[in-house]
Amino acid sequence: MRVGIAGPGNQAGKIAKAMQKAESALRCTVYLHREGAAPSKDLRGPAFEPTSRLDDLASCQAVVIASPNEAHASQVRALLAAGYDGYIFLEKPPAQDERDIDWLESLSEGTRRKIFVNFNYRRSVYFRGLVRDAERFGLGALLSVNVSTSHGLGLNPSYGGSWRASREHHAGGVFETVAIHFLDMLVLLRGAPERADLMASVHSPYGDAPDNCLLSCLFPGGVTLSVTASYTAPFMSSFTALYENGVVTYGDEKTVRAPRETFDESGLFSQPPVVHREPVQRKTIARDSLAESVEGFLRAVRSGEGFALEEYAAAMETSRVAARLVARTRRDFGS
């Protein structure tokens, strides 16, 4: 199978690596989107052929678009204009501008069914838990999801050379690369939020894109989402789902506590006992989810099947909410 890859960076390399594990005979044409760009270490070797022309990818059976976020929609346009009619693995967000989102939504059903938008955590243990745990453990209705995630990327001098550090190219900052995943999971489950607020700040000395943020949302049915994300703090990864009759937390393990009606000897509410626990590899959640996404994409390419239109529509809705939040952030920063 020949796959075109637009974007020579680390995310493209991770996708290619996952594809090679699933497809041993993989051959790739790698589009270097700017002059002098060097492919990441995972995009080098006999299986990879560089090109400076995006339309060279139009002859491939499948194309991965994992370039900087601002180029996603324009590269889809260019491929379709070049006559490409194959499958597209499109990294999130599919577009940053509402006009581009409108255009992506206007594509024919056949084209939309061939575009897989990789909001990676849709295949994660987090999302599977949100889908299954209420019924599995008798937890009742979902009330809220609270997430804290951080690492120190923004304090590494190399961060300054990345498009992620530039407000001009990446106005959404850490919201658009990290927090947006959790927004998307709730959009897929509940629909568009009734209210969404984003507060963002810059702490890194190496860039001016927002590297810390707090996202707060209210979804239909009264479900709330709160996400704190940082590029300038120690590693942390916590995920808590609060239900009417229990609490599910993810740290070094997944724990389920229930029921709500748990009391101490004085008759006061007390923390419910653990009714289920299982190990969680926090540092591999994203990698494992990506591997599952890639395997599903390649199965569709081999079989000729289409992707669910509901997932495509939810991806566009997530991107529309994100575009509006980032537009407000631009105004807050005076850009």
Give the model confidence (pLDDT) of 264-302 as tens digits.
999 999 999 999 999 998 888 989 999 999 999 999 999
Q: Which residue, among 137, 140, 118, has the nearest Cα to 275 in the 3D structure?
A: 137
* Average pLDDT score, the chain: 93
Are 126 and 236 within one domain? yes
pLDDT at 293 (0 to 100): 95
- pLDDT at residue 34, as a whole number: 62
- Global confidence as pTM: 0.93
Q: Maximum Cα–Cα distance for the chain, whole Å?
A: 73
Residues 281 and 295 in one domain: no
Residue 204: inside a domain, yes or no?
A: yes
> Both tokens of residue 173?
């900052």
Q: What percent of the chain has pLDDT over 70?
A: 98
Flag whether 313 is in a domain: no
Residue-number span of the structural domain to which 194 is assigned: 122-285+318-332
- 93 and 177 both lie in a single domain: no
pLDDT confidence band for 36 (50 / 70 / 90): low
Question: Is the domain of 70 the same as that of 150?
Answer: no
Same domain, 223 and 155: yes
Q: Are residues 155 and 114 in the same domain?
A: no
| Mean pLDDT across 10-18 | 91
Does residue 311 sit within a domain? no
Predicted confidence (pLDDT) per residue in 164-184, tens digit: 999 998 999 999 999 999 999
List 254's β-bridge partners, or say none: 250, 278
**What string of DSSP letters covers 186-205?**
HHHHH-S-SEEEEEEE---T
State pLDDT tens for residues 101-138. 999 999 999 999 999 999 989 999 999 999 999 999 99
Separation of alpha carbons 117 and 89, rounded Å: 6
CATH number at residue 64: 3.40.50.720
Both 295 and 261 in one domain: the answer is no
| 62 token code pair | 């499948």
